[in-house]
Copies of this chain bind each other. A is one copy, B any other.
Amino acid sequence: MAWVELVTVLALLQFLYFGMLVGRARERLGVKAPATTGNEIFERYLRVQMNTLELLVLLLPALWLASGHLAAPWLGVLGAIYLIGRFIYLRAYVAEPAKRSLGFGLSALPILILLVTDLVGAVARLVRG
């Protein structure tokens, strides 16, 4: 469970960091709350945060469920790929939104693997009764 805890905390801290980048961009670029549009660079940071939020709510439950089905080191590896993928996504999206696919795919792949594992595991458990 220690690997699951570590991946969980690091994914949360990464999301917190992305949120801080949005706050800093808002300040620096003069986008006054509650506006979220009007400055393209700010919007890029905001979309990185929102897309990460969408993946985070998938990753964490998928990871926790998978801890009943996959060995801890695998969970650590999948978590690391997610985290690295997210940083690549951040860099690419802020530089040039059209180039965000690699980072997105890299962070989405481990989530897909976890979800398929969880689905098979849950169905198997129901079938066994």
- Chain A interface (Cβ < 8 Å from any Cβ of B): 1-3, 5-6, 8-10, 12-13, 15-16, 19, 32-37, 40, 43-44, 46-47, 49, 53-54, 56-58, 60-62, 65, 93, 97-98, 100, 111, 115, 118-119, 121-123, 125-126
Contact = CB atoms under 8 A, between A and B. Distances in A.
Contacts of A43: 34-36
A62 B44 CA distance: 27
A9 B126 contact: no
Given A33-B97, A53-B57, A125 B5 contact: yes
29 contacts: A2-B125, A2-B126, A3-B126, A5-B122, A6-B123, A8-B61, A8-B65, A8-B118, A8-B122, A9-B62, A9-B65, A9-B115, A9-B118, A9-B119, A10-B119, A12-B118, A13-B115, A13-B119, A15-B54, A16-B115, A19-B54, A33-B44, A33-B47, A33-B97, A34-B43, A34-B44, A35-B43, A53-B53, A56-B57
